[in-house]
Amino acid sequence: MAYFSQQLINGVVLGSIYGLIAIGYTMVYGIVGMINFAHGDIFMIGGFVALITFLILVSIGLTFVPVILLLVLLVAMAMTALYGWSVERIAYRPLRHSFRLAPMLSAIGMSFALSNFAQVAQGARVKPVPPIVTGGYTLFERSGFAVQLSNIQIIVVITTLVLLALFTYLVSRTRLGRDMRACEQDQTMAALLGVDVDRTISMTFVIGAALAAVAGMMYLLYYGLVDFFMGFVAGIKAFTAAVLGGIGSLPGAMLGGLSIGLIETMWSAYFSVEYKDVAAFSILIVVLIFLPTGLLGRPEVEKV
């Protein structure tokens, strides 16, 4: 029971990171109807920006950890949001009214461009960072095994819950959120009613990239390393989480992220760790066979 509880905690933390990335996928798909395959690399860029900002702040003598974390978070979100805006302007906007395959190919090309840019700029080796947030709590101990809850795990989960609440409020209660929902229903009609469609789509990419930056920073704090290839692996898993939860559904994206995180950790704990990805994708296939729209997705109604 103690070992299961520890893996449950680990799975929730990992799933929270996947969920933050998955929200970006589901936002873009909900409005544009396309998958942003460069989103995983935006997450990777966020991790690198967080690392560089942290090193700069430490080098100038700043040592108060809460202030460092806040500044790193703000800088990472701002810089990564700029990358997200650039992806939309370069890879999506010129091809928005082209055939559906063109934006997808453009996004895949942008993904390769970002990953190779990071490899050339920062090198191919893994970039480690010393533990920034330390300490934790022992919840209980049984049969010589202590269930630990670290401070960084608490930060990851609380940050995810706060951002999810803020973004839910943004989508449901603000003018920008109404514009997003209008564009999701019908971009042409939304434009006729006075919605700035280009601005709304750009802001969707910006917000999704900012959330990916938070996920990149949480990944850096939790695992203590970043590399140029991490965006591909995490991006594929976050995309899987978005599809599993129901592409286009924000709660579904977070539920899918938690599901993938729990599947990975539980499989690694009780079975062979080499097949944890196989287990996650196999369960995805089973779910989509019986629930083609995902766990919380809605059937798509084609407009005629």
The residue extents of the domains of the chain are: 13-231
The chain-wide mean pLDDT, for the chain, equals 87
Spatial separation of the C-alpha atoms in residues 124 and 220, rounded to whole Å: 17
Q: Which helix (H) or strand (E) holds 141?
A: strand 136-142
Mean pLDDT of 265-289: 84
DSSP state of 62: -
Evaluate if residue 239 carries a pLDDT over 90: no
Residue closest to 164 by CA, chosen among 11, 10, 22, 14 = 22
Res 65: pLDDT: 86
Percentage helix, strand, coil, to 5, in the chain? 75, 5, 20
pLDDT at 300: 60
Q: Which of 15-29, 135-149, 289-303 has the highest mean pLDDT?
A: 15-29
Segment 80-99, tens digit of pLDDT: 999 999 988 888 888 877 87
- Other C-beta atoms closer than 10 Å to the C-beta of 4 total 12
pLDDT for residue 166 is more than 60 = yes
